Structures are given as C-alpha cells and as structure tokens.
Amino acid sequence: MDKRIELSNILSKKNPKDLKMIVGFDGFVDEIIHVVDKRMDSQQFTRINTIEALGTRIVKASGLSTNIELVPTIKKIGGNGPIMCNALSQHNASIVYMGALGYPSVDGVFKVMEDKVKLYSFATNGHTDALEFDDGKLLLGKMQSLNDVTYENLLKEVGEKEFIDLLSKTDLFANVNWSMLPNLTDLWEKVANNILPQLPKRGKKPYFFVDLADPEKREDEEIKRALSILKRYTKNFFVVLGLNKKEAYDVANVLDLFDNESLVNMQVSLEDLNIALQNYLDVDCVVIHPVDRSCCVIDNKFYMEQGPYIAKPKLSTGAGDNFNAGFILGLMLGLTPDQALLTGMSTSGFYVRNTHSPDFEELYTFMKDWAENKI
C-alpha cells in the first residue's frame, strides 16, 4: 500500500481536538500584490511573472525613473505566527495566540481568528506588501511596531500566572518569525530564566517549535546567540527548529559548518546539511522544507520525503507556515517523522492549490488524492 494512503487511513482515526497549543508572537496584515507588465484597459493587464523580470526593469531605470504599478488582490491575515495558527485552528484544537495583532484593540483582519482561537494582543501589527511571482515572492514589510513584542509587554497582557498555567498544559509552544522580532531573543532568555524553572515536569514533553524566518538581515552574532538559547528549552520541551532551504544554507554558513563556496552554491547535500545543523545545535529536531520535498533529523536519523510540487500555485505566501503547522501537528499526533513530513507537505500542498488551509478531513483526503494522482 502507498504510504500516503496508509497515512491517510491512520489520520482518519486520529482526533486533534484534544490538543492544546500556544502560538506567537508576530502579526501582519498582508496585501497580496501582482506587478503589472502591460495594461490593456482598466480591468485587464498582464503580470510580471518572475523576480528576475522585475529586477531587469528596475535596473534599466537606474539613473532615470520608472513607474511600477502594483495591483492588490487579497488583504488577509499575515505574519508567520497568525498564518501557522490559522492553519492549526482548522483542526478545532484548543489554541491561544499571543502577539502583535493590534493595540489597544485587535485589528479587524484578525477578528476571524476569534471564533477558534483565544487572542492576547500586546502590540500593533505590522504590514506586508507581498509581491508574488511564479519563481518566488518579495515581502516588503513595515514592522517598527513589532519592537513592542517584549517579555515585559507579554506578561503585562497575559499575566505571569496565566502564562505559566498555559505553558504547563500545552502540547505546543510555537515561536516563529524571529528575524522580524528584534526582542525575541531577549524574550526567550527571560522565559528560560524566569518561567521554565516554574514549569512542572511532564511524562511526555510538549513541543517548542521555532522558525527563524529568513534571518539573513540579522547580525551573525545575534543569530548564534538566539540559536544557542534553544538548547536550554530541551529540559522542558521537545525542541524543533524549522528552516526553508535558503535559511538552512544561510544558518550553516553563519555557524561555519561547511566551506563558504559550497554553501553559497548549495553544493552540500540536504542530508549532510540537515545532520550537521542538528548535531551542532543539539536540539531534538531540525526540519528543512524546500519547495519540492522536506527532510528532518530526529534521534540522529535522517528522513526525507518528496512533496506534491506545483509549478504555478494559486497562493504561495504562507506555504511554509502551513508546512510547519502540518509537520508539528503530525508529531503531536504521534506520527513517525516521515509521516509528519508528509502531513506537513499535504497541508501546504492543499493550501497553495486552494488558497486556504485544510480542515482535518480535507487534509487526509488530499493525501489520498495525491497518492492517486487526483490533485
């Protein structure tokens, strides 16, 4: 039997409703935007389809000027945390979101989350213009307000006793978009110093999931400092670091795990890269998700699975967050690492084809359809 069909059958007998999760801490309003190449009339236009084509047009304007028309297509929940949270909320688990969703009141874009998620907002959200192309996306962010995502503001809004109580009972504590939260490293350190010692020991460790989210713009020493703190969480949590392909090579370069040329040219295999990162960081799991496959190392064993790649997705912004949601959901449900990879890629595969995250039945049905070449 195809392992995807077998997994679909396994998932159909699972129930994620009893899971408890905490997700934080960023928050953006995303505007998905197409860039105009040629306009025929007030309604019809052709797109600039690739980042390279846009780059060529920009370079040609050097020393001159040019007009680039942007057409917003969707205004939606943005930020790695809210998108991941929104994906997890489709499974009707008990979820708390803490972060920058608007202050002093929650921005209207995030109101749709309130039906399924308890919200604690303690900072004004950022704003992202997401320029989408067939070969990637350019995320143009306005994020000064995210400076208010601090340990002190978190406890002021949630309360230390409530925060400890929530962490004591949760199955997942997910912290994503580190690169856009200047004070997150400090928050991790203060939680490690002040909160973790107060948590009860549990038979099965909950998951602490971290996604750096394109750390290239942050200083190397700050990246090293943040990553070094993760190991402190392994006493209380099963620590998972999630990276896309570019981030994995960038982090390996910062940590000097291979020679610079091999990493810049991506000549190091995913397996060697994944194993080296996990060994150096000494956390429980490092998972890497290129667009066409995913891999992870758990208990010193490497796993890799191919994904349901699509050349022209209907929506790509948020695909990585949906993978993260599906992968960590799989681990929480007790799946094997390779099955969790397939669950992650099925979640993102459904999302990029349908522009929304799957509910639980849609997730395992998509997995079966994928195996039967019906997607």
Which residue did the predictor score with more confidence, 178 or 31? 178
Name the residue with tokens 């549990």: 202
Q: Counting Cβ atoms within 10 Å, is residue 343 exposed (0-12), middle (13-18) or buried (19+)?
A: buried
Q: Class of the 3-32+77-372 domain?
A: alpha beta
DSSP state of 200: P
pLDDT digits 0-9 by tens, 321-357 = 999 999 999 999 999 999 999 999 999 999 999 999 9
**Mean pLDDT value across residues 309-316:** 89
pLDDT attached to residue 144: 93
- Could you give the CA distance from residue 95 to residue 117 in angstroms, rounded to a whole number? 5
> What's this model's pTM, rounded to 2 decimal places?
0.89
Selection from 118, 120, 119, 116 nearest residue 90 by Cα = 116
State phi, psi for 234 to the nearest 5 degrees: -70, -15
Confidence of residue 31 (pLDDT cuts 50, 70, 90): confident
**Mean pLDDT value across residues 189-211:** 97
58: three-class secondary structure by DSSP: helix
279 Cβ contact partners less than 8 Å away, ≥ 6 residues apart: none
> How many percent of the chain have pLDDT more than 70?
100
> How many percent of the chain have pLDDT more than 90?
88
Name the residue with tokens 């390779």: 338
Which CA distances in Å does 320 have to 62, 184, 256?
A: 34, 20, 25
Domain parsing of the chain, residue ranges = 3-32+77-372
pLDDT digits 0-9 by tens, 77-115 = 888 999 999 999 999 999 999 999 999 999 999 988 999
pLDDT attached to residue 9: 97
338: three-class secondary structure by DSSP: helix
pLDDT digits 0-9 by tens, 129-172 = 989 999 888 989 898 999 999 999 999 999 999 999 999 999 99
Q: How many CB atoms lie within 10 A of CB 18?
A: 9
pLDDT attached to residue 292: 94
Confidence of residue 264 (pLDDT cuts 50, 70, 90): confident
Amino acid type, 105 = S
Residue 63 pLDDT exceeds 90: yes
Amino acid type, 4 = R
- Could you give the CA distance from residue 323 to residue 348 in angstroms, rounded to a whole number? 5
Which residue did the predictor score with more confidence, 363 or 264? 363
